[in-house]
Structure 1
Amino acid sequence: MQEKSYQDVWNNCLTIIRDNVTAQNFKTWFKPIKAVALENKTLTIQVPSQFCFEWLEKHYLTLMKKTIMREIGKDAKLEYNILLENSSDKKPYISKVPSSEQADIKNYPISMPISTYSSSIRNPFIIPGLQKININPQLNESYTFNAYIEGECNRLARSAGFAVSQNPGGTSFNPLFIYGSGGLGKTHLANAIGIEVKNNHPERIVLYVSADKFLTQFVDAIKDNKRNDFVHFYQSIDVLIIDDVQFLCGKEKTQDVFFHIFNHLHQNKKQIILTSDKAPVDIIGMEQRLLSRFKWGLSADLQSPDLETRLAILNKKIKKDGIDIPYEVVEHIAYSITTNVRELEGALISLLAQSSLNKKEITIDLAKNMLDKFVKNTVREVSIDFIQKVVCDYFDI
């Protein structure tokens, strides 16, 4: 007698299942399923999403196992191929997951209709024994704590971030809200936290995403009628890092879905890290219920780097790149660029480019000439340090 193919087995199963669920439920949950293999009495079916997999396991596990055992035998097993979407390029990939073994299924004749499985699992998004999905955290590996220069301007934020990375979700800094003007190191610090979490807790799912990317993904999910999949994907994250959260301002539907994701993560002691160019109290266009939650944890600001920090940043970059620059040139750049780290490093790169392209030695005169153009529209800091330097240079002391 010829053995049944996996298509025949699954088609026979669907005939039985159709008689035991409503027409709408059959169309929603079972029609999209495809049988893909039958080996060693293990039937593999492909489901369109993680959410679909978990719904089937929660509501229809007993029905499916009884039906499959009737077709294959008492040793029958069920496995899933779950189509998942890569968060970076949207290309689908497959996660292979065995069916939950929590239900004790006996091989006895099926009487119609079969009552559906009543699960004892309280949270439909958490299934005991479910394997973690391998998600690209989208972190910039060069943005580490070692590469992050600490100073008075960022000490609180850095210390809080490091504490979070050691015990994500287990500190009072949840959410950790990091704010400050552009170029002060918010993105670097957020990435450093994520990298340190992965180093200390490789089993945790970490995801860094800009608010703009989050918004785009949500719009795409709505267009594709995959809102539930979108929500569940983000609810499965252990450490969620959202950069420039202020870009959600004025986006009511996106704020609403983020509100529910935020609540789920926080209630399940998952870590949330947010960055913004403004403190929560100064953000306009964000729902009050979200702003109040932003204040649940710690809000830490990043300020413009002081002279000592600016010198340390420049010296670290020079050492890293193996460049030989006179100290007076480094000092002049540090005194001249007072706004943020991005412009400070940009000035150094511009100086190196001027020297390399024009085949000129790096001197204080070259630096002054370049910086006069670089900071033409920038108000320089007239500080005590700057005044002392000018006086000392003038009197050669």
Structure 2
Amino acid sequence: MTLTANSVWENCLNYIKDNIPEDAFSTWFLPIRPAKINGNILTIQVPSKFFYEWLEEHYIKILKSALQRELGSEAKLVYSILMDQKSQGRDPYTVRIPSSNKEKPQPQEVDTPIQLDKSRLMNPFVIPGLQKLKIDSQLNPNYTFDNFIEGESNRLARAAGRAISKRPGGTSFNPLFIYGGVGLGKTHLVHAIGLEVKELHPDKTVLYVSTEKFTQQFIEAVKNNNQNDFIHFYQMIDVLIMDDIQFLSGKAKTQEVFFHIFNHLHQRGNQIILTSDKSPADIQDMEQRLISRFKWGLSADLQNPDYNTRLEILKQKLEKDGIIFPDEVMDYIAQNIDTNVRELEGSLNSIIAQATLNKREITLELTARTLSKLVQTARKEISIDYIQKTVCEYFKVSMEDIQSKTRKRDVVQARQLAMYFAKQYTKASLASIGSQIGKRDHATVLHACKTVKNLQETDKAFRGYIEDISRKISD
């Protein structure tokens, strides 16, 4: 009896089905199609590189066992990964089940590639159940290059963004990793890039998504058992823009999925644009393989705007609103608000509100009085490192102590309070907090938070500690 690819693979599936859960079988094996058989070499088609890597990581043993039952101990398996029409001209990725034979067979070209039916994928940005795959870019039309003021603080990032707009995926800036503090224009810039790509390349699919939204969608996909749709949806995007990528810290499963999406897009020459509040090297609790990929293209930082840039930002804002400020007032604001664009715009709004409500002219005196209050109440960025230092100073323990394994009562107390305040004042995950405070796990952080809350309710002195430290952190 002549063996065929279909008959061999069908027998393999019958064996695999009896040895793994039904939902896993449906998700990871039913989409596979047998392509060719050549002696003891079976070639199968899988929808994506992520699919192949998942099989290799989780099911290689059962695949090997099933295939050797059919083709003997020298059996080999070749994966052919053909995502869509763009891949037909490329060699397929191949992996073979190891054998004692050192000679490696050549990759097999597939005669009839299996195409991904994009019309059937679920779009995580629309109401579940709708099959129409019309992707809204999620871009803000108000964030354009025309109203993004260029200066020394952002010139490199802006120039790279314009280059990408002309040739998305065709420059060496892939990925483009833009980082900087709060309010410096990261989100504005990536929206501007996306809008210009859409204008110059209407055939390109552009998508902006916050990392928090991406994570929520992934959790929902896992809950509804449609991870494949989620992954394939993002693998279709021509220009993917992800904001605040640092929020992947500590989220191992979401990092795993994003890693495979990133690889797929990058290998196809699709453009990836990321923003973060810190450079790739400074992101905590991120897999090193992701960090290394963030560095593949261009990392461009946005710094605090200089005086001339701040002045231009003020002029543009006032011109847009049809308001005139005296030159001396403009100069005063630009000289004294030197943090970020958000603070500049906030100062203008405060001055305008004061003048309007009190029916006063906008003068240098009014401006100085208003800004003095604004500057005094401006809060510093609260980081886990800052919280640790504040707690250490309060209890007069060292950072080395709080990071150590010591179980001394005063140090344990300080460590638990640092974890508690880190959860209260930052958006870091429990795993990220634990990693930065003594390399503890998320369960330790959760226990610390519960302990602090219990003591807060039962111990008057401890409640005083919390109030004192909270004031110090907020000041």
Q: TM-score, normalised by structure 2?
A: 0.55
Query: What's the secondary structure of 2:182's corresponding residue?
Result: coil
Query: What's the secondary structure of 1:208's corresponding residue?
Result: strand
- Which amino acid counterpart does residue 254 of structure 2 have in structure 1? T
Query: Which residue pairs with 2:211 in the alignment?
Result: 211
> Mind listing any 5+ residue stretches in structure 2 that lack a counterpart?
1-12, 28-81, 86-116, 381-475
Query: What's the secondary structure of 2:293's corresponding residue?
Result: helix
- Which amino acid counterpart does residue 374 of structure 1 have in structure 2? L
What displacement does 1:330 show?
A: 1.1
Matches of 1:142 and 1:282, distance apart in 2: 31
What displacement does 1:88 show?
A: 3.8
- Calculate the aligned-residue CA RMSD, in Å: 2.8
Matches of 2:260 and 2:123, distance apart in 1: 22
- Which amino acid counterpart does residue 253 of structure 2 have in structure 1? K
The answer to whether 1:248 aligns with 2:243 is: no
The answer to whether 1:93 aligns with 2:130 is: yes
Query: What's the secondary structure of 1:375's corresponding residue?
Result: helix
What displacement does 1:92 show?
A: 3.7
Residues 181-200 of structure 1 mapped to structure 2, 5 A cutoff: 181-200=181-200
Query: What's the secondary structure of 1:250's corresponding residue?
Result: coil
What displacement does 1:340 show?
A: 0.5
What displacement does 1:93 show?
A: 2.7
- Per-residue CA deviations over 1:146-199 (Å, capped at 9, x if unaligned) read 010000000000000110111000000000000000100000001000000000
What displacement does 1:377 show?
A: 4.6
Residues 107-118 of structure 1 mapped to structure 2, 5 A cutoff: none
- Which amino acid counterpart does residue 335 of structure 2 have in structure 1? Y
Matches of 1:328 and 1:245, distance apart in 2: 40
Residues 157-236 of structure 1 mapped to structure 2, 5 A cutoff: 157-236=157-236
CA, structure 1 residues 85+363, in 2 after alignment: closer, same or farther (shift >3 Å)?
Answer: farther
Query: Which residue pairs with 2:327 in the alignment?
Result: 327
CA, structure 1 residues 173+81, in 2 after alignment: closer, same or farther (shift >3 Å)?
Answer: closer
Query: What's the secondary structure of 1:93's corresponding residue?
Result: coil
What displacement does 1:331 show?
A: 1.0
Give the conservation status (yes or no) of the 8 Å contact 1:84–1:92.
no
- Per-residue CA deviations over 1:32-62 (Å, capped at 9, x if unaligned) read xxxxxxxxxxxxxxxxxxxxxxx9x99xxxx
Query: Which residue pairs with 1:387 in the alignment?
Result: none
What displacement does 1:359 show?
A: 1.6
The answer to whether 1:272 aligns with 2:309 is: no
Query: What's the secondary structure of 1:241's corresponding residue?
Result: strand
Query: What's the secondary structure of 1:209's corresponding residue?
Result: strand
- Which amino acid counterpart does residue 196 of structure 1 have in structure 2? E
Query: What's the secondary structure of 1:366's corresponding residue?
Result: helix
Matches of 1:338 and 1:375, distance apart in 2: 10
What displacement does 1:83 show?
A: 5.6
Matches of 2:118 and 2:140, distance apart in 1: 30
What displacement does 1:90 show?
A: 3.2
Q: Which 4+ runs in 1 deviate beyond 6 A?
A: 21-25
Residues 242-391 of structure 1 mapped to structure 2, 5 A cutoff: 242-377=242-377
Matches of 1:155 and 1:85, distance apart in 2: 39
Give the conservation status (yes or no) of the 8 Å contact 2:242–2:275.
yes
Give the conservation status (yes or no) of the 8 Å contact 2:148–2:189.
yes
Matches of 2:302 and 2:250, distance apart in 1: 25
Matches of 1:87 and 1:158, distance apart in 2: 30
Residues 134-145 of structure 1 mapped to structure 2, 5 A cutoff: 134-145=134-145
Give the conservation status (yes or no) of the 8 Å contact 2:123–2:131.
no
Give the conservation status (yes or no) of the 8 Å contact 1:81–1:94.
no
- Per-residue CA deviations over 1:61-85 (Å, capped at 9, x if unaligned) read xxxxxxxxxxxxxxxxxxx994655
Query: What's the secondary structure of 1:137's corresponding residue?
Result: coil
CA, structure 1 residues 374+93, in 2 after alignment: closer, same or farther (shift >3 Å)?
Answer: same
- The number of aligned residues is 278
Matches of 1:91 and 1:249, distance apart in 2: 28
Identity %: 59
What displacement does 1:350 show?
A: 1.0
What displacement does 1:376 show?
A: 1.0
What displacement does 1:379 show?
A: 10
What displacement does 1:28 show?
A: 5.1
> Mind listing any 5+ residue stretches in structure 1 that lack a counterpart?
1-20, 30-54, 59-79, 96-132, 381-397
Give the conservation status (yes or no) of the 8 Å contact 1:83–1:93.
no
- Per-residue CA deviations over 1:3-24 (Å, capped at 9, x if unaligned) read xxxxxxxxxxxxxxxxxx9898
What displacement does 1:205 show?
A: 0.6
Q: TM-score, normalised by structure 1?
A: 0.66
Matches of 1:224 and 1:147, distance apart in 2: 42
Give the conservation status (yes or no) of the 8 Å contact 1:87–1:136.
no
Query: What's the secondary structure of 1:273's corresponding residue?
Result: strand
What displacement does 1:292 show?
A: 0.2
Query: What's the secondary structure of 2:131's corresponding residue?
Result: strand
- Which amino acid counterpart does residue 220 of structure 1 have in structure 2? E
Matches of 1:92 and 1:317, distance apart in 2: 43
Give the conservation status (yes or no) of the 8 Å contact 2:122–2:128.
yes
Query: What's the secondary structure of 1:301's corresponding residue?
Result: strand
What displacement does 1:327 show?
A: 1.2
CA, structure 1 residues 334+210, in 2 after alignment: closer, same or farther (shift >3 Å)?
Answer: same
What displacement does 1:89 show?
A: 4.9
Give the conservation status (yes or no) of the 8 Å contact 2:165–2:193.
yes
Query: What's the secondary structure of 1:376's corresponding residue?
Result: helix
Q: Which structure has more helix as a fraction of its residues?
A: 2
- Which amino acid counterpart does residue 332 of structure 2 have in structure 1? H
Give the conservation status (yes or no) of the 8 Å contact 2:240–2:273.
yes
Matches of 1:224 and 1:209, distance apart in 2: 21
Matches of 2:139 and 2:118, distance apart in 1: 27
Task: Compare 327-336 and 143-152 and name the one that shifted more.
Answer: 327-336
Matches of 1:207 and 1:163, distance apart in 2: 18
Query: Which residue pairs with 1:102 in the alignment?
Result: none
Give the conservation status (yes or no) of the 8 Å contact 2:156–2:300.
yes
CA, structure 1 residues 82+170, in 2 after alignment: closer, same or farther (shift >3 Å)?
Answer: closer
- Which amino acid counterpart does residue 354 of structure 1 have in structure 2? Q
